[in-house]
Amino acid sequence: MTSEDDPFHDCELDPEAILGTHTFENVLYTDETETPINVLTGETPAHSQATVEEAKGFAASIDTETPQIALPASVESQVETQSKPYTAAAFSHFNATGSLERHRAYHAAYESDAFAVDFEADYVSGDLTITVERADES
């Protein structure tokens, strides 16, 4: 197999590092995601008020080949940009999976016919579960 045929040729991790089921806890946007409070009124600004359903809809509306999830936006970015309390990112985003190396490995597996990649985004608990299997085993 040449390096061009190997989906992991540019990855720091090999497939063994991501095979199986891995759960990343408390990484998704939830109803408990922190939002800014206006110190003068004691209320959350309108731009930071959102539901999980809005966040999921926004993530699903992103037109890309890689499935998107809704991640919490930092309070700082909500204040500075007057943005919603969530942002969309690839299901394997390093903010969710904990490292750029994992992000690249999950993305390589997703793009490859040699692997079956599935994920479950639980917006109640905030947990993201990703399962990777070799395609010939699934």
Q: How far apart are CA 135 and CA 33, in angstroms?
A: 36
Does 93 score more than 60 pLDDT?
A: yes
Confidence band of 9 (pLDDT split at 50, 70, 90)? confident
User: What is this structure's pTM?
Assistant: 0.89
Nearest residue to 26 via CA among 72, 69, 58: 72
User: What is the average pLDDT across 59-72?
Assistant: 95
- Annotate 60-97 with DSSP letters as a single string: HHS--SS-EEEEEPPHHHHHHH---SEEEEETT-HHHH
Contact call for residues 134 and 20 (beta carbons, < 8 A): no
pLDDT higher than threshold 60 for residue 3: no
Whole-number pLDDT of residue 132: 97
Q: Do the beta carbons of residue 50 and residue 56 sit within 8 Å? A: no
| Per-residue pLDDT tens over the stretch 25-61 | 999 999 999 988 888 898 988 888 999 999 999 999 9
* pLDDT for residue 76 is more than 60: yes
Q: What is the pLDDT of residue 138?
A: 56
